[in-house]
Amino acid sequence: METTAFEPGMQVFDPVARKVGEYRGQAGPYVMLRPVGGGREWEADPARVRPATQEERIRAGVRAANRRTGQDDPATSPPSPSPGCDTCAELAARRDEARARHDASAVTDANVLLRRHQEQAHPATRTRRVFRYIPYSIVQDPTAMPEYEARCVSGDEKDCGAGSGVHHDPSQVEEWQRRHSQQTRHLRYRRTFGDYAVLEPLERAAGAGPT
């Protein structure tokens, strides 16, 4: 993908590092990305990065907000080596080496091995998982069109049951109702409306107004 499509500050996804970063600019054959919310920049392959999806941007924003408030989840945060343990130190060093060469898969492997070792060798040092509440704003998904439908419930002993089918335009459903009433003299319908919603952190939603 051409890096000229990226603007400074645009959030993109790096599949090698497996995380979202803010595009900073070109640095030789690489692009420079910075963690959402600030942090140490890293180099990424411009041919592999892509614009982050809305879900990826929301997750990255939540993690950044948690870091600012000191609420990182210890169950998912990288484990810290236990003092005085040679195995912990070896696995932590392996993780640091993987980070230095931007090998996200090896970093994950080291974290898994370190966490597994601590569960077996240092059960008393395991940190309880902390559940936190993050306020969200529920907004309609602008990328998905709402759906309208009507079903005829006229009838003395049982409903007619005829349906309009699902349409994205309510006028199409209303037109079906008129035609059905002309043909059957049925006048009672059950109408349904459906849409899609996404949850956004309130901090992000509050800053998403017109610029």
Amino acid (1-letter code) at residue 99: R
3: pLDDT strictly greater than 80: no
205: pLDDT strictly greater than 70: no
- The pLDDT-based confidence of 17 (bands split at 50, 70, 90) is confident
Q: Where are the domains of the chain?
A: 147-195
> pLDDT (tens digit, 9 = 90+) per residue, 129-149?
555 566 777 888 878 888 899
Structure tokens at 99: 């980070």
Mean pLDDT over the full length of the chain = 80
pLDDT of residue 172: 93
| CA dihedral for 117, 119, 120, 122, sign (positive or negative) | positive
Task: Output the CA–CA distances (angstroms, integers) from residue 105 to 43, 138, 178, in the order listed.
Answer: 16, 34, 60
**Residues in CB range of 14: below 8 A, 6 or more apart:** 20, 21, 33, 42, 44, 45, 48, 49
> pLDDT (tens digit, 9 = 90+) per residue, 24-82?
888 888 889 988 887 888 888 889 999 989 888 888 877 777 666 544 455 556 778 88
Report, as an integer, the average pLDDT of 165-174. Answer: 92
Judge whether 108 and 98 are in contact, CB under 8 Å. Answer: no
Helical residues (DSSP H) of the chain, grouped into ranges: 54-69, 86-100, 104-121, 170-184, 202-206
pLDDT of residue 211: 44
| CA dihedral for 14, 16, 19, 24, sign (positive or negative) | negative
Judge whether 139 and 198 are in contact, CB under 8 Å. Answer: yes
